[in-house]
Structure 1
């Protein structure tokens, strides 16, 4: 699992993530339960994207400084940007499922921010483990790339056929298991995950929501992490591009939740992206597709899908006089 990033950059990345999470939790505690406005979501989205791009610039400088190779630095920076964009785009499907979970459990908007914060922490831990294991597997067994590629291609085809269909949360096996093994209170108790009922400590519905959000993210990570390995085998770039995309997931959720209807065709675009990346990975030893071409393809597919979505979006009912 060799990486072109120097050790100090690994340390800087870990400290930066921990610092960002600390600031987020401190702000969350000070603000208390409140509904996140679109303006606040836009502001935080800009902050997270700016921080990600700044880290990408630092990565470029660190690789060039340690190797003295500008071309290598350019390649690594493009790999980070492509991986970041892939993870961001695939997170959109995540967000629509989160929205469905919140709607199903009737989670008040004021509590959703706390749920997503803990979901992000769980996602960071689990994805880090998955990426390190995946990097080791690829380093030991090159043919694993073909399996990843075939899996992504099949997932893209499945996503295309399932696009536009409402997921059936009631038949979700994870939800059924959680309800079977956990006693759950019939109503929320503020933002608490655990409450007391008849002298017993039991879970609240908000705890079930956090668990489902975490399980959903792991399921989607099975798709998104192999997709980034199609761009680069450098574990540092796979990890950092993935985590920086996840850090901005909460703001992205509140931003997209307000205009989900306008991007009703986005699942089709994501399906094409997965199929493209899977095909690229399966042909990795036959056709070398440059990183810049992959980046352009992903941007182009998403842009076309979003434009068509906006133009064909169902009209909202006119407000009553």
Structure 2
């Protein structure tokens, strides 16, 4: 179905309006969102995405509706996985909790602009070259293999190429000046870590787009559906970050679930490429008579894998342990390196003490793993030393 130009214009205007609303009413004034605030706005943004999908279903038909929902759910799941990396980046740059909202929103805007470029490029390539489906399928299979390999937090770096280029081209400082992106130091205008962390998140998302855009093109070839599913999956990501922040590290099997989904879509793309084949060295350039995977089956598989993955993660004892370990690491870092307000520091240390008590109550096999994490043990020891020093004043 061809989407009229005015529909594109209205959709883009609506998405820009939502981003501006988010900035003016939630992000412009730095604050830490409450769980209720994050929950309400996450629900509203998901509701807007679902209502849009219902509209697509009514206007475009069952196939278009199923393609949109399959694309939206896949992109949302990939976005949640990306939050792990965003969290590592913000921890590396020691972004104050109240300022993380602005970093995330700017990162989302950069993501949306970058992905729009990839979407237009992908649509043009698909229109011109049928063999692109082979390439997209191969990319997804390689990505699935990488996701299936165990990786720790140390494998995720905040010092990507764009950050290194920014540091070479501009004067930078390691100190924050509120939420300003530039400040004055020794008579010179310098870039603060606030802008650097936005650059880091934007640069990292360029890599994310290399698997997310081929994935959604494997579910629909409509550029309009690809764009809207991608945009709505990013909208509300900021609120979702604060809502499930405490659960992120508990989703221990999410990467495996995403690996299965991306591998499934990769196979679907290759089957489609074979069905449309015109590559000379494959079947003499003639289409190959293979079965294709329907959009309905794709939607069922994606939902099913995500449900199994999330349930398995939330019921896993190691997942619960990981969640507490992550919280203890974050609160110790906040206490030592980020927060300066005495009242807030006392609250953070109280949370840290409760988390340590929970860790001590874990089965011995988990406590043994924790004791092997030298960085975490050193961080906890430093937090206690600092607290003893404060109390002895």
* TM-score, scaled to structure 1: 0.91
Greater Rg over alpha carbons, structure: 2
Query: Aligned residue for 1:66?
Result: none
Q: Which of 49, 52, 55 is the equivalent residue of 1:58? A: 55
**Structure 2 counterpart SS, 1:196:** strand
Q: CA deviation at 1:26?
A: 1.3
Distance 2:257 2:27 in 1: 38
Query: Aligned residue for 1:314?
Result: 320
Q: Is the 8 A contact 1:5 1:59 kept in 2?
A: no
Q: CA deviation at 1:256?
A: 2.4
Instruction: Flag the 1:300–1:176 CA change in 2: closer, same or farther, 3 A.
Output: same
By relative contact order (CA 8 Å, sep 6+), the higher-ranking structure is 1
**Following superposition of structure 1 onto structure 2, how do residues 235-274 of structure 1 map, counting pairs within 5 Å?**
235-274=223-262
**Following superposition of structure 1 onto structure 2, how do residues 3-82 of structure 1 map, counting pairs within 5 Å?**
3-28=1-26, 32-63=29-60, 73-82=61-70
**Structure 1 counterpart SS, 2:155:** coil
Q: CA deviation at 1:183?
A: 1.8
What root-mean-square deviation, in Å, do the aligned CA atoms of Structure 1 and Structure 2 show?
Answer: 1.8
Matched residues, number: 308
Query: Aligned residue for 1:291?
Result: 295
Distance 1:107 1:164 in 2: 21
Do residues 156 (structure 1) and 144 (structure 2) align? yes
Q: Which moved more, 1:86-95 or 1:5-14?
A: 5-14
Instruction: Flag the 1:8–1:115 CA change in 2: closer, same or farther, 3 A.
Output: same
Q: CA deviation at 1:218?
A: 1.4
Distance 1:231 1:55 in 2: 18
Do residues 222 (structure 1) and 203 (structure 2) align? no
Distance 1:23 1:151 in 2: 36
Q: Which of 137, 144, 147 is the equivalent residue of 2:125? A: 137
- Structure 1 unpaired stretches of 5+: 64-72
**Structure 1 counterpart SS, 2:56:** helix
Query: Aligned residue for 2:339?
Result: none
Distance 2:89 2:253 in 1: 20
Distance 2:305 2:297 in 1: 12
**Following superposition of structure 1 onto structure 2, how do residues 109-128 of structure 1 map, counting pairs within 5 Å?**
109-128=97-116
**1:205-263 C-alpha deviation (Å, 9 max, x unpaired):** 11110001101111101100110110111111111111111112111222222212221
Instruction: Flag the 1:123–1:172 CA change in 2: closer, same or farther, 3 A.
Output: closer
Q: CA deviation at 1:4?
A: 3.1
Distance 1:224 1:268 in 2: 16
Q: Is the 8 A contact 1:113 1:250 kept in 2?
A: yes
Query: Aligned residue for 1:305?
Result: 309
